[in-house]
Amino acid sequence: MIKGKKTLSGKVRIGGAKNAAVAIIPAALAANGICVIDNLPEIEDVQNLCRAVESLGAVCTWNDAKSLKIDASNITRYTISKEIAAVMRASYYLLGVLLGRFGKAEIPIPGGCNLNVGPRLFNYHLKGFEALGATTSQDDDVIRVQADKLVGAHIHLDSPSVGATINIMMAAVFAEGATTIDNAAKEPHVVDTANFLNKLGAKIKGAGSDTIRITGVKELGGGEYTVIPDPIETGTYMIAAAITDGDVTVEGVIPKHMDSLTAKLREMDCRIEEGDDSIRVRAGKPLKASVVRTSEYPGFPTDLQPQITTLLCTAEGKSMVTETIYDNRFLYACELNHLGADIQIKGRSAHTDGSCVLVGAEVNATDLRAGAALVLAGLVAEGETVISNVGHLDRGYERFVEKFGALGADIKRIGQAD
């Protein structure tokens, strides 16, 4: 429950990147030695992935709340249960790493947020595995991949899919010879995963560019690695400062990763000050309307699209947000409209009118980032907003109630997360 009309101010420290963590934890299964992963976010997806790798035979030990030791030297299994796969989308990363290490993997269809992207969902992954010499199959329940031997290949992705880039990269680490991935995704967590694998002894070059080159190795050893800060958590608090007419400094961040959002907030008349590892956001009032189009990094991230749309509902004039990555990313719009927003969906675009007044109501978080958008709306809505199904938020935002509360939000849990 949130009581709105509170101005946020103060400092908030950002946790490790969810999207990097959920790739790096599976990647640790490629190592014959012990891996220590630091700066992991305190979120449900990390806990669920720990359960997944433990079910395969890995030994996981927490050094503290953010540091995990993984010993995968004795794993023998190559499949996880439907129950484990159903709670997180990132379980598909087990396909690439298990294919590389064992030559086979069987992973139930992943769950997580309902952001179905149609035929693109796993095709890019499977085509990449097939190019390396694997056979693949997919039915309603399970994805299967198998190869007697993986051989390096030239792979061109039809679209720069983050998941496919990382999955193919993990499998190609053990392929014989050289592999090239063209039109690769350039997101920071792609780079972070490549850096982690290189720390273990992989030979990956070009991560963060259009072309990634991997020279196969026989095995990987252990190592210690620190996960980058989360750009989506960072962006959510930046937008929270703007929507509440606040003054918030996010700390422990990489400002370069936030360039697309920083430029958009400045365009809307927010004042931004960047430090070496911090960003201070002070809102301008009234905020100006804007036009946003999501795209692959370094473009505007789809995972901040619901949040920026919510902000634009409070800006002067008419704005438009176009989504190019996911098919079902506007499911939250009707929930925002319950709060008094004026959002009209036309094709792949959301048209907003900032002349509306948001008023508290009971709403439902349809997915992780939609839940964040509803929290932002509740912060400025008149009266009380009650958000159900906040288990989605726990999957991707660490201690969000405590962090928002420390900035001055009137926010509390009134029941168990769904």
Burial degree of 414 (CB within 10 A; 0-12, 13-18, 19+): exposed
Q: Which of 35, 50, 113, 270 is catalytic?
A: 113
Taking alpha carbons only, the member of 382, 381, 380, 378 closest to residue 414 is 378
DSSP code at position 229? B
- Residue 121's contacts (CB-CB under 8 Å, 6 or more residues apart) are none
Q: Are 32 and 221 in contact (CB under 8 A)?
A: yes
Per-residue pLDDT of the chain (418 residues; tens, 9 = 90+): 999 999 999 999 999 999 999 999 999 999 999 999 999 999 999 999 999 999 999 999 999 999 999 999 989 899 998 888 888 878 999 999 999 999 999 999 887 655 554 434 689 999 999 999 999 998 878 999 999 999 999 999 999 999 999 999 999 999 999 999 999 999 999 999 999 999 999 999 999 999 999 999 999 999 999 999 999 999 999 999 999 999 999 999 999 999 999 999 999 999 999 999 999 999 977 999 999 999 999 999 999 999 999 999 999 999 999 999 988 899 999 999 999 999 999 999 999 999 889 999 999 999 999 999 999 999 999 999 999 999 999 999 999 999 999 999 999 999 764 4
At 199 the pLDDT is 98
pTM score: 0.95
Q: 77 to each of 80, 147, 224, how far by Cα in Å?
A: 8, 16, 24
What is the set of domains in the chain, with CATH numbers? 2-15+229-411 (3.65.10.10), 18-226 (3.65.10.10)
DSSP code at position 287? P
Q: Is 113 part of the annotated catalytic residue set?
A: yes
Q: 159 to each of 214, 292, 294, 411, how far by Cα in Å?
A: 19, 20, 14, 40
3-state secondary structure of 80: coil
At 326 the pLDDT is 87
- Residue 190's contacts (CB-CB under 8 Å, 6 or more residues apart) are 162, 165, 166, 169, 184, 207, 208
Helices of type H across 271-417: 305-312, 333-338, 368-380, 391-396, 400-406
